[in-house]
Amino acid sequence: MNSVESVKAVNQVDQTDIAEVMHALATDSRAAAAVLANATTDAKNLACREAATALRRRTDTILAANSEDITAAEARGTPGPMQDRLRLDAVRIEAMAEGLDAIAELSDPVGQVMDEWDRPNGLHIGRVRVPLGVIGIIYESRPNVTADAGALCLKSGNAAILRPGSESIHSSRAIHDCLVEGLRAAELPVAAIQLVPTTDRAAVGCMLTMPDLIDIIVPRGGKGLIERVQNESKIPVIAHLDGICHVYADGAADVTKARDILVNSKMRRTGICGATETLLVDAAIAEKALPQMIDDLVTAGCEVRGDVATQAADARVVAATEDDWNTEYLDAIISVRVVDGLDGALAHIAAHGSNHTDTIVTEDAATAARFLREVDSAIVMHNASTQFADGGEFGMGAEIGISTGRLHARGPVGVEQLTSFKYVVQGTGQTRP
Amino acid sequence: MNSVESVKAVNQVDQTDIAEVMHALATDSRAAAAVLANATTDAKNLACREAATALRRRTDTILAANSEDITAAEARGTPGPMQDRLRLDAVRIEAMAEGLDAIAELSDPVGQVMDEWDRPNGLHIGRVRVPLGVIGIIYESRPNVTADAGALCLKSGNAAILRPGSESIHSSRAIHDCLVEGLRAAELPVAAIQLVPTTDRAAVGCMLTMPDLIDIIVPRGGKGLIERVQNESKIPVIAHLDGICHVYADGAADVTKARDILVNSKMRRTGICGATETLLVDAAIAEKALPQMIDDLVTAGCEVRGDVATQAADARVVAATEDDWNTEYLDAIISVRVVDGLDGALAHIAAHGSNHTDTIVTEDAATAARFLREVDSAIVMHNASTQFADGGEFGMGAEIGISTGRLHARGPVGVEQLTSFKYVVQGTGQTRP
């Protein structure tokens, strides 16, 4: 055997090992899911609260682990907004802990009667929530996904297999330790929330091809990850694609509201999926409102790329290309276009939007109603910032992601979206004629 | 070019033609879906009612078309139960028409507010039903699927692409003509419900690989079709796999109820997915109840295959093999096993069931509650026949199928299950802190 063959042989053994490890891990998850499906609400809540306590107590350990990840990210030359996604501080860890406490406070979806009715023949039919089973979450840089996704799966009675990216592996392991502490305190199976023990990409391939052991895959990350998962998965995927969100400032807008909503939608945090990427301004108010809006953006540190009309309004605007309308910057950059009223805005969003979140600013109720009805996005808003596109802000406690698909879950994916249901039919001996 | 090459060349041209034809057809569907999403309830209902009227008026034409399909099926030596699925008569056509009228009577799901709530910051959030878009239905022998699926898609605001099997093509075309008559009467786009113009299997391959033009695929038919669709589809699939349904006669059963429910569950119609395939009898009542149950089944014309205990109860019982527990007969055959109480029944169903429909017959409320909670099937029943596993019987008007998957739709798939939703957020200028 020459050295190349030897290396190949070693890799083959490794790949086999990974397949075996992943199969054993998922088998444990399936067994844990059967226990979780009948776990009490109290036990699940206790696990969340004890995990929150552990997060707070271990803040220093988590920050130390996070700084390992950050150092590696800096060494790789990771861009600033990506580093922002990765970075933890005491405030963000406390927010994670509060997220877990909030999930403990949520109603337990499992066993909820979603709907019930009687049939003329006396049958009573109920639709009752049940867990989905085993959920695989494949994510990249944001370490808080470990806590949010793990606890959301637990509360909804599902076993979770968490596969963080190598970028956040140290942070994720430190957070996962806290989740396991919570599970132990509640005497729930520790396999209820498992972290994939290797960052080898082969582990992802294994997860995507075990439909008997994993019921649903939730990828969270960049386009490359999502596309790979969607192409390779033999398991249903709840995917979060681009967030090309729009603010449309209508001719009947209150300009002060429009300016506040615009700056908040774009600049509050630029690296999140609900950040606005494109401003559409009704030509009817462009002359009055556009110069102020551009000035607000530039003052806030935003690069403005505009069409000809926008460039004419302010010398600091650079020319937008066709690509700009289809780009999720996730950075302090915005594209701006002057459109011909609501119809122009609807046409632009239909052509360039990503069906995520779009908002209209207007005082005209009829115009707002048409925007809300006709824009085909998971979240449509009237006089509110697109940065509210978030499960926590919606009152769901926390979210595992925002689905841009139309099946099963659309928009923020919280505990209810992580359940299925069954029909329970109660009779007194009925037979069908 | 020799003759083989010549045939190949012709087929290649045909395949290209089919791809072009299917792309053009699906493009028309996408355009129709945009119109349907905003169609009035009145227009959709009128189309359903006028289609029902056309079905009744054209009964003779439909029966003539159906007899062409039946003649061909007989010539192919199609088994009896399959011919039963294919066969139409005046009663079944009237039932189809009544199904369309019932769909017209249903509430329009589109625009329904599924849920709404206020946030502490004053945002009002509503979750509103919207259509899925374009639905591809790929089915085999049952011609009534054409009417049910077409009307259900229409009522839920979706465009439908119907691809019947070659077995039922004449019947399906005659029924589709009635649906088109309804669309014309309501001035809705005729492309709202399209029938694939060719029975070439390549058309199915095209449907499964147009994710930009078709939003969801619903296959209805045998295992071979479902597996092909699930393997090849680049589009989410709502699938109906096996219906290996169980009747469990518990030790605390009312034996008269158990006998009635058993015979109805197995023999009312043997070719439907909700037909029972396996009887489980608690050992505690086997001596008392099993001989009567076997006699009822044999008298009704059912072949009984049993375990050793069942064979001992009646000489007419033949030995069941391991395969029998995993077989959906869709015929007048049943497998029977004596089990050790509820735990034995739960273990058997977990090992051999298909997560479709299972019923317990018992007068013990606690035993029933445990069966209903622990059996992981789309439909779980207490003291009722498994033949009620049907969208119409559930009050949904009609169903496009019964989903054995856990995502989006589980159990009967009616108009509500053919919708997605969007979040509508109403603000007064809120920005996110």
- Tell which residue, B34, B191, B124, has the closest CA to residue A376: B34
Instruction: Report the residue of chain B nearest A122, measured CA to CA.
Output: B384
Q: How far apart are CA B107 and CA A251, in angstroms?
A: 36
Digit-coded pLDDT (tens) for B372-412: 999 999 999 999 999 999 988 998 877 788 888 888 889 99
B336/A contact by beta carbon, under 8 A: no
Amino acid found at B113: V
Indicate whether B217 and B276 sit together in one domain.
Answer: no
| Lookup: tokens for A63 | 């920050």
Q: Tell me, what's the ipTM?
A: 0.87
Contact B425 A384 (CB under 8 A): yes
Band of pLDDT at residue A212, cut at 50, 70 and 90: confident
| pLDDT exceeds 70 at position A10 | no
Question: Got the DSSP string for B90-116?
Answer: HHHHHHHHHHHHHHHHSPP-TT-EEEE
Cβ separation B385–A430 shorter than 8 A = yes
Regarding whether A203 and A87 lie in a shared domain, the answer is yes
Residues B101 and B229 in one domain: yes
Is B260 within 8 Å of A429 when comparing Cβ atoms? Answer: yes
Residue B433 domain-assigned? no
The average pLDDT across A42-64 equals 98
Q: What is the rounded CA–CA span in Å between residue A414 and residue A406?
A: 15
* Higher pLDDT, residue B201 or B315: B315
A119 to chain B, any CB pair closer than 8 A? The answer is: yes
Which of the given ranges, A379-388, B11-20, B412-421, has the highest pLDDT on average? A379-388
Q: How far is it, in rounded angstroms, from Cα A58 to Cα A365?
A: 50
Identity of the residue in B123, B254, B387 whose CB atom sits nearest the CB atom of A432: B387
Whether residue A370 lies within 8 A of chain B, CB to CB, comes out as no
Answer yes or no: do B384 and A427 touch at CB < 8 A. yes
- The predicted pLDDT at position A158 comes to 98
A31 touches chain B (CB under 8 A): no
User: Tell me, what's the pLDDT at A399?
Assistant: 78
Banded pLDDT at A140 (limits 50, 70, 90): confident
The verdict on A143 and A266 lying in the same domain is no
Per-residue model confidence as pLDDT tens digits over B119-154: 999 999 999 999 999 999 999 878 888 999 999 999
Does pLDDT of A334 surpass 60? yes
**Is residue B7 predicted with pLDDT exceeding 50?**
no
CATH (domain of A230): 3.40.605.10
Q: In the predicted model, what is the mean pLDDT of residues A76-98?
A: 90
Residue A17 sits in the same domain as residue A146 = yes
Rounded average pLDDT over A199-213: 92
Section A76-86 average pLDDT: 85
pLDDT of A1 reads: 36
What mean pLDDT comes out for the span B221-248?
Answer: 87
Of B382, B405, B410, the CB nearest to A421: B410
For residues B308 and B229, state if they share a domain: no
- Mark yes or no for CB contact A421/B428 under 8 Å: no
Mean pLDDT of A162-176: 95
| Beta bridge partner(s), residue B161 | B136, B194
Name which of A7-11, A330-334, B193-197 the model is least confident about.
A7-11
**Residue A430 within a domain:** no
What's the pLDDT at A87?
Answer: 93
pLDDT band at A14 (very low <50, low <70, confident <90, very high): low
The alpha helices in A111-268, defined as continuous H runs, are: 144-155, 169-185, 202-208, 223-232, 255-267
Residue B198, in any domain of the structure:
yes
* Tokens encoding A399: 């979210």
Residues B223 and B272 occupy one common structural domain? no
> pLDDT confidence of B14, banded at 50, 70, 90?
low
Q: Tell me whether residue A404 is in a domain.
A: no
pTM given for the model: 0.86
Query: What average pLDDT does this structure show over A345-362?
Result: 96
Same domain, A225 and A273: no
CATH number of residue A265's parent domain: 3.40.309.10
Range of the domain at A344: 245-390
pLDDT of B420 above 80? yes
Backbone phi and psi for residue A276, each to the nearest 5 degrees, phi listed first = -70, 140
Instruction: Say yes or no for a CB contact (<8 Å) between B430 and A254.
Output: no
| Residue A10 or B297, more confident | B297
DSSP label at A147?
H
The residue with greater pLDDT, B134 or A12, is: B134
Residues in B 212-271 with any Cβ partner in A closer than 8 A: 215-216, 236, 254, 257, 260-261, 263-265, 268
Q: Provide the chain B residues 149-188 that lie in CB contact (below 8 A) with chain A.
A: none
Q: What is the pLDDT of residues B181-199, one digit of tens each?
A: 999 999 999 999 999 999 8
3-state DSSP assignment of residue A138? strand
Instruction: Answer whether residue B1 shows pLDDT above 60.
Output: no
Q: Say whether residue A422 is in contact with chain B using an 8 A CB cutoff.
A: yes
Phi-psi region of B197 (alpha: psi -120 to 50; beta: other; left: phi over 0): alpha
Whether A118 is covered by a domain: the verdict is: yes
* Chain A CB within 8 Å of residue B406 CB: yes
Q: Within a domain: residue B195?
A: yes
A284 and A373: one domain?
Answer: yes
A12 CB-contact burial (10 Å; exposed 0-12 / middle 13-18 / buried 19+)? exposed
Q: With bands split at pLDDT 50, 70 and 90, how would you rate the model's confidence at A13? A: very low
Query: Smallest CA–CA separation between B431 and chain A, in Å?
Result: 5
CB-nearest to B424 from A119, A380, A423 is A380
pLDDT at A175 over 90: yes
Assigned domain for B408 exists: no
**3-class secondary structure, B279:** strand
Of A132, A405, A423, Cβ closest to residue B406: A132
What is the CA angle B272-B278-B282, rounded to 5?
145
CA A33 – CA A43 distance, rounded (Å) = 14
Q: Is A178 inside a domain boundary?
A: yes
pLDDT at B345: 98
Share of chain B above pLDDT 90, in %: 79
Number of domains in chain A: 2
Q: Which of B378, B385, B425 sits opposite A423 (nearest CB)?
A: B378
Residue A405: its chain B contacts at CB < 8 A? 236
Q: What angle in degrees, to the nearest 10, is found between the helix axes of A341-352 and A283-299? A: 60
User: Domain check: are A134 and A190 in the same one?
Assistant: yes
A254 shares a domain with A212: no
Q: What is the mean pLDDT of chain B?
A: 92
Cα-only R_g, chain B: 24
Which residues does chain A have within 8 Å of residue B412's beta carbon, measured at their own beta carbons? 423
Residues B183 and B57 in one domain: yes
